[in-house]
A and B are shown apart, each in its own frame.
Chain A
Amino acid sequence: MSERVYTVVPAPRREAIRSMAKRGERVDGRKPEEFREVKLEVGVAGNADGSARVTLGHTKVIVGVKASLGQPFPDAPNAGVQIVHAELIPLASPIFEPGPPDENDVELARIIDRGLRSAPALKLEDLAVVPGKQVWRVFIDIYPIDHDGNFIDASGLAAMGALLSAKIPKVTAAPDGTIVKAEEKVPLPIADIPVFVTIAKIGDVLVVDPCYEEELVMDARITFALTRDNHVCAIQKGGRGSFTPEEIERALEMALNVAPRLRSALENLRQAGAPQSA
């Protein structure tokens, strides 16, 4: 991301947004604790095993899931593998440059990976086919295509939407270790549905789900991944500024308040899919 872009955020605009925040107002007319309207569509990429597109204001993120059989990691021989990759492609914003993933791409992928892993979203132990030898490797690829702030929360929703809508072939392992792939497809084993909520700090004010302009002027942000029973399963503080402990507690409360609404879209998906034990 080009540093020059940041140096020229028009100073008057910066001051305007910050003084609005002080009065409890936001550039797009929202209240500080208000999340933008979320649109979740699944099955947007037919060659993926599962896919979803999330629209959050003008922010758009596509996530595709592809699963293939392969070797487990040596430190977890009896579990499937979850790999999250994210790329801030230049198609999405003039401030993204082509090239190999930089720290922003990697941070986004790793936040989502941690949230999904600790919840856990996938029952990885159910994805081992021949323990120690053959397991499902689930690739979750995150691609923002239009940037209007808060990629983390949009990516988290799209990743969960893609996982919930994914179908993989039913496989059985014969006693001699050969694997038979059936025509029949089954959903991925899902244990929990984590959602990600990001709070930005602008001056002394906390706002949920920052839009792009707010991200440019914010002092810092903090993201919470939250499980269904309101546990925190990942945290990431970002930005040059700092939070007081009280602010973090307040931010967590704001996040817990909006999480159920975000999760409801995903729960609907799960109910629409094939029944499964959970």
Chain B
Amino acid sequence: MVEGEFVVPGDEVGVIEEFVPAAGTYARDGFVRAKAVGFVRVDALKHEASVAQAREVPLPRLGDVVHAVVTGLRDSVVYLDVFYNETRNAHYAVPFRAILHISEASNERLRSTYEVFGYGDVVRATVISRKPPYMLSTRGPEYGLILARCPRCMAPLRKRGLWLYCPSCRKTFKRRKIASRHYLLR
């Protein structure tokens, strides 16, 4: 097979004697075969044959940055719906359920998740598991709330220094975990 050649699943990319099957390929019957539509890549030095996929499924992967809405809170865990994958620029029309443990909510020690998040808030988080149900983390300064509402009057909260406050009922929320410098939270 020639570098750059178009292949569909099942196509022979090379022979086992010559190549190790790498990304987008599998081995069967003495051949390295394509397992997706794409283009052949040959690494002569490493003796690797791979397929650069024309299209990859946009599932969340370990390390991806996602946006999720809080759908439930317990003292020690937060339940969320992941609706957008920032890393892959993919929207999920049917959201993925995800879980955030209190130990992954913040770099600080917390007594309860209620201190840092509210029901219906939107967070920016990283994926820390490989498959569903996805585990999320908001540790680190760029992660946390990007959209939050006042639990009393539902008005969108505004940022004031490191705190959030409600412009209509004037309450200040000092413990909320916010994503610093995010354009949505001002």
Interface residues of A (CB under 8 A from B): 2, 4-5, 7-8, 10-12, 93-95
Contact = CB atoms under 8 A, between A and B. Distances in A.
B139 to A, nearest CB: 23
Contacts of A8: 69, 81, 83, 95
B184 interface: yes
B93 A5 contact: yes
A10 B67 contact: yes
Contact of B83 (A10, A93, A94, A95): A10
A4 B122 contact: no
A4 B184 contact: no
Contacts of B67: 10
B57 interface: no
Contacts of B95: 4-5, 8
Nearest to A12: B184
B147 A4 contact: no
A217 to B, nearest CB: 15
Interface of B: 67, 69, 81, 83-84, 91, 93-95, 122, 147, 184
B169 to A, nearest CB: 20
A95 B83 CA distance: 13
Per DSSP, chain A at the interface is loop
Contacts of B147: 11-12
Contacts of B91: 10
27 contacts: A2-B94, A4-B81, A4-B94, A4-B95, A5-B93, A5-B94, A5-B95, A7-B69, A7-B81, A8-B69, A8-B81, A8-B83, A8-B95, A10-B67, A10-B83, A10-B84, A10-B91, A10-B122, A11-B122, A11-B147, A12-B147, A12-B184, A93-B93, A94-B93, A94-B94, A95-B93, A95-B94
A206 B179 CA distance: 36
Nearest to A97: B94
A93 B94 CA distance: 10
Contacts of A11: 122, 147
A12 B86 CA distance: 14
3 closest residue pairs by CB, A with B = A94-B93, A8-B83, A8-B69
Contacts of B69: 7-8
A12 B184 CA distance: 8
Contacts of B81: 4, 7-8
Nearest to A8: B83
Nearest to B146: A12
Contacts of B184: 12
Nearest to A93: B93
A6 to B, nearest CB: 10
A72 to B, nearest CB: 44
Contacts of A2: 94
Nearest to B184: A12
A94 B95 CA distance: 11
A65 to B, nearest CB: 32
Contacts of A7: 69, 81
A188 B84 CA distance: 49
Nearest to A9: B83
Contacts of B93: 5, 93-95
Nearest to B81: A8
Contacts of A94: 93-94
A278 B99 CA distance: 65
B70 to A, nearest CB: 11
A8 B91 CA distance: 10
Nearest to A5: B93
A196 B93 CA distance: 28
A117 to B, nearest CB: 35
Nearest to A95: B93
A4 B91 CA distance: 14
Given A5-B95, A10-B122, 5 more contacts: A2-B94, A7-B81, A10-B67, A10-B83, A10-B84
A47 B85 CA distance: 44
B144 to A, nearest CB: 16
Contacts of A4: 81, 94-95
Nearest to B91: A10
B80 to A, nearest CB: 10
Nearest to B83: A8
- Most-contacted residue by chain B among A4, A5, A8 (CB, 10 A): A8
Nearest to B147: A11
